[in-house]
Amino acid sequence: MPYHSIVCVKQVPDTANITGEAMKADGTVNRAALPTVFNPDDLHALEVALDVRDRWGGTVTVVSMGPPKAADVLRDCLYRGADRVILLTDRRAAASDTLATSYILNQAVRHIGNYDFVFCGRQAIDGDTAQVGPQCAEKLGIPQVTYLERLIDLRDRTARIRRNVGNGWEIVEVRLPVLVTVLDTAGEVRPPAARRVMKYKRARVRAELVAAVAAAGGAGVSPADVEREVERRAETLRSRGLMLEQWDLDDIQADLKWCGLAGSPTKVHRVQSIVLTKQGYTEIPPTEEGIRRLVRELVVDHTLG
Amino acid sequence: MIAPNRKGEVWIFAEQEDGTLHDVALELCGKARELADHLGVKVGAILPGWNVRELAYRLIQHGADDVYLSEDRRLEHYQTLPYARVVTTLAEKHKPQIVLFGATPLGRDLAPRCASAMRAGLTADCTDLDVADVPDPAAKTTHKNLLLQIRPAFGGNIIATIINPERWPQMATVREGVMPLGEPNMQRQGEIVAEKIKFDDNDFAVRLIERHREPRKVNLKGARTIVAGGGGVGSKQNFRVIHDLAGAIGGAIGASRAAVDGGFIDKAHQIGQTGTTVRPALYVACGISGAIQHRAGMEESAKIVAINWDKEAPIFGVAHYGIVGDLNQVVPMMVKAIKERPKE
């Protein structure tokens, strides 16, 4: 019996390699200044979805919300075996907090429709909140199973899942549809397939074509010319199955009052870069006498018994 | 969501498992007490479970005024949907102004489900909380007494303060171990309010089949003294000196991520942002450079001794005592000095 999965993935700044230009003056992240990566947990979410399809049949549809550049991770999904990818991009979605993001993703999932599973990574490395998955499940009105480590079995539209709860594990059973968040300990992720890389590396979303044509045109090119050229390129890509879907908030019938800044109850009040508190410390010489004095001091102030 | 309600209580979610309260629930009680005193309101604790009435007294001893006890056989083991039903039903009934959860795997599963159902704001993994007036220049007004939700963001490279001015309750999950666990006051009085919650069959859509818990092998959070080794220790073999010092002091063994990644010691010993947050009486950092992710997990320690050959290492920025030198010489000297120390 085939199962249809939707996977939510995110392109994230590589927070392990941050430089000083990462923050803008208003305290928001200057994403353009950072190298980007496929959010690690999301790769595992994709893998579980692909595994379900390979074992039981069905489809894997991937949706990513982000700027046009996020099409990179969607191409990566195609290389690894996704059937369909969709970029959800809209300036009006900018500054969404986790609640607004989960509303928008829930609208996208509803618009895709006919699903058995929604898979998300447990959390994204730029925010580390782990909130969007559970919030999206609530908005879809379906149960959630967080922290999947292994999909044990699937029969008669019932999934048996082993989840890691930190101080142990448990096995739960749930009727589909369900939203599942996946841990990065959920096993190996398949690599991109060379044949699919060759096929999909030229796949583009419309926003990428617009940017490429505008960059190539230089000054003096009219908007109508740009439009015509974009349409010509899009037609060529479409005929080869390489035109990727791009949706905006209108396409998914999102109510703008729940999107972007307006839809976000939490606001960033202040952002501080980490500065060491330079209160100074007592320097102890690395000698027997110096260390004996330190130990004595710690005994006297009852730090050591 | 509920409208801002200045008279609302400050609530905590009382996480328990197998009839034992999680430490973070008591840590939250203490913090909630402080916030509530500042706001001039009461502290409430939500306690769902089965046969857990005894725990209500402990919550009261740690600062709760009202314990909303919701007992049902089906609540014996945590499950997202029925527990979320308890929290949202009670929040809509009593309209608290703040709801705090521990940022545990359970809290981070439950809190977003509740926040979404209430269309309220939620901030993840706070390391500090405060209350202050916040001016809103756009609306030419000042929001009185908002909860400041303070958390590291962006891989620990920045500290963000988040507010939720309008769509209440103001909700946050709070990292374990960052708020001090206060002493119980056996004389404190409070009220236990039994709450009957109406569930829906769909609330039990997820069935628990099997459950396995591992006792915590490494008790870093409860340790009075921690001796931690970092990448500077150099090898698994050389980590012996860390064991020796911990043995001499009678402390627990901690490690930085570099030491764990280098295979010197098991991940259960890791201290820092991805790992355990600790605040012992004494923290001895040996060969730890002190990346922000590590400091975030230990800088609240009462006394910090740093040993590093590099006098520019950031660990010295949070240290009370610094020893610039080779840990292979310094640590054995310290073992000797401790064994020969004068007894108070």
Q: How do residues B135-182 score in pLDDT, each as one tens digit? A: 988 888 999 999 999 998 776 667 899 999 999 999 999 988 788 888
Mean of all residue pLDDT scores within chain A? 92
So what's the pLDDT on residue A25? 57
**Residue B216: inside a domain:** no
pLDDT for A218 beyond 80: no
So what's the pLDDT on residue A278? 46
Rounded mean pLDDT of A83-93? 98
Instruction: Identify all chain B residues contacting A281, using CB atoms and an 8 Å cutoff.
Output: 306, 316, 319-322
Instruction: Identify all chain B residues contacting A131, using CB atoms and an 8 Å cutoff.
Output: 108, 111-112, 115, 122, 124
pLDDT for A27 beyond 80: no
Measured between alpha carbons, how far is B285 from B310 in angstroms, rounded to an integer?
13
- What is the extent of the structural domain holding B103? 10-204
Instruction: Identify all chain B residues contacting A299, using CB atoms and an 8 Å cutoff.
Output: 341-344
Cis, peptide link before residue A177, omega less than 30° from 0: yes
Same domain for B187 and B235, yes or no, is no
Q: What is the pLDDT of residues A250-269, one digit of tens each?
A: 999 999 999 999 999 999 99
So what's the pLDDT on residue B33? 98
Same domain for B67 and B146, yes or no, is yes
Spatial CA neighbour of A249 closest among A61, A100, A78, A69? A100
Neighbours of A113 (CB within 10 A): 9
Q: Smallest Cβ distance to A281: which of B116, B119, B319?
A: B319
pLDDT for A19 beyond 80: no
Interface touch B162/A266, C-beta < 8 Å: yes
Number of domain units in chain B = 2
Beta bridge partners of B110: none
Same domain for B149 and B35, yes or no, is yes
Beta bridge partners of B254: B228
Same domain for B233 and B200, yes or no, is no
- Residue type for position B251: G
Q: Smallest Cβ distance to B249: which of A266, A285, A304?
A: A304
Among B175, B204, B233, residue at a domain's last position = B204
Spatial CA neighbour of A106 closest among A76, A166, A49, A63? A63
Q: What are phi and psi of A75, to 5 degrees?
A: -60, -40
ipTM above 0.85, yes or no: yes
Same domain for B139 and B271, yes or no, is no
The residue of A164, A268, A281 whose CB has the most chain B CBs within 10 angstroms, and thus the best one to mutate to test that interface, is A281
Interface touch A126/B155, C-beta < 8 Å: yes
Residue written as token pair 């019938």: A253
Interface touch A299/B343, C-beta < 8 Å: yes
DSSP string, B126-150: ESEEEEEEEEETTTTEEEEEEEEEE
Same domain for B229 and B165, yes or no, is no
So what's the pLDDT on residue B300? 86
Which chain A residue has the Cα nearest residue B151? A271
**Residue B83: inside a domain:** yes
**Residue B5: inside a domain:** no
**Residue B1: inside a domain:** no
Would you place residue A20 in the very low, low, confident or very high pLDDT band (cuts 50, 70, 90)?
low
Interface touch B109/A146, C-beta < 8 Å: yes
Interface touch B303/A303, C-beta < 8 Å: yes
Same domain for B266 and B117, yes or no, is no
Measured between alpha carbons, how far is B317 from A285 in angstroms, rounded to an integer?
17
Size of interface A-B (CB pairs under 8 A): 233
Q: What are the tokens at A246?
A: 């791009």
So what's the pLDDT on residue B185? 96
Instruction: Identify all chain B residues contacting A168, using CB atoms and an 8 Å cutoff.
Output: 211-214
DSSP string, chain A: --EEEEEEE-EEE-GGG--GGGB-TTSSB-GGGS-EEE-HHHHHHHHHHHHHHHHH-EEEEEEEES-GGGHHHHHHHHHHT-SEEEEE--GGGTT--HHHHHHHHHHHHHHH---SEEEEES--TTT----HHHHHHHHHT--EEEEEEEEEEEETTEEEEEEE-SSEEEEEEEESSEEEEE-TTS-PPPPPPHHHHHHHTT-B-HHHHHHHHHHHH-TT--HHHHHHHHHHHHHHHHHTT-B-EEE-TTTTT--GGGSTTTT-S-EEEEEEE--------EE--SSHHHHHHHHHHHHHTTS--
Vertex A153: Cα angle to A147 and A155 (nearest 5): 125
Host H or E run for residue B115:
helix B105-118
**Residue B211: inside a domain:** no
Host H or E run for residue B98:
strand B98-102
Alpha helices in A151-287 (DSSP H): 194-200, 206-217, 223-239
Same domain for B251 and B192, yes or no, is no
Instruction: Identify all chain A residues contacting B249, using CB atoms and an 8 Å cutoff.
Output: 304
**A29 and chain B in contact, CB less than 8 A:** yes
Strands (E), A141-266: 144-155, 158-164, 168-175, 178-182, 245-247
Q: What is the pTM of this model?
A: 0.85
In contact, A245 and A204? CB cutoff 8 Å: no
**Residue B280 sits in a domain of what CATH number?**
3.40.50.1220
Positions of chain B with pLDDT lower than 70, given as ranges? 155-157, 216-217, 343-344
Lowest mean pLDDT among A27-36, A48-57, A69-78, B10-19: A27-36
Same domain for B194 and B100, yes or no, is yes
Measured between alpha carbons, how far is B264 from B268 in angstroms, rounded to an integer?
12
**Residue B209: inside a domain:** no
In contact, A99 and B119? CB cutoff 8 Å: yes
Interface touch A145/B206, C-beta < 8 Å: yes
Spatial CA neighbour of B283 closest among B269, B302, B267? B302
Interface touch B207/A174, C-beta < 8 Å: yes
Interface touch A265/B121, C-beta < 8 Å: yes
Interface touch B111/A131, C-beta < 8 Å: yes
Q: So where are chain A's domains?
A: 3-205+244-258, 207-238
Neighbours of B124 (CB within 10 A): 26
Interface touch A272/B167, C-beta < 8 Å: no
Q: What are phi and psi of B333, to 5 degrees?
A: -60, -40
Rounded mean pLDDT of A107-126? 96
Measured between alpha carbons, how far is A81 from A75 in angstroms, rounded to an integer?
10
Among B146, B173, B204, residue at a domain's last position = B204
In this structure, the strands spanning B122-126 and B170-174 are parallel
So what's the pLDDT on residue A276? 47
**Residue B71 sits in a domain of what CATH number?**
3.40.50.620
Instruction: Tell me the CATH number of domain A3-205+244-258, given options 3.30.590.10, 3.40.50.720, 3.40.50.300, 3.40.50.620.
Output: 3.40.50.620
The residue of B77, B98, B136, B158 whose CB has the most chain A CBs within 10 angstroms, and thus the best one to mutate to test that interface, is B158
**Residue B120: inside a domain:** yes
Interface touch A278/B113, C-beta < 8 Å: no
So what's the pLDDT on residue A214? 86
Q: Smallest Cβ distance to B209: which of A172, A282, A295?
A: A172
Same domain for B175 and B32, yes or no, is yes
Same domain for B245 and B316, yes or no, is yes
So what's the pLDDT on residue A16? 64
In contact, B214 and A164? CB cutoff 8 Å: no
**Residue B3: inside a domain:** no
Same domain for B198 and B272, yes or no, is no
**Distance set, CA B134 to CA B35, B122, B123, B130, B171 (Å):** 16, 18, 17, 12, 17
Q: Smallest Cβ distance to A168: which of B113, B166, B212?
A: B212
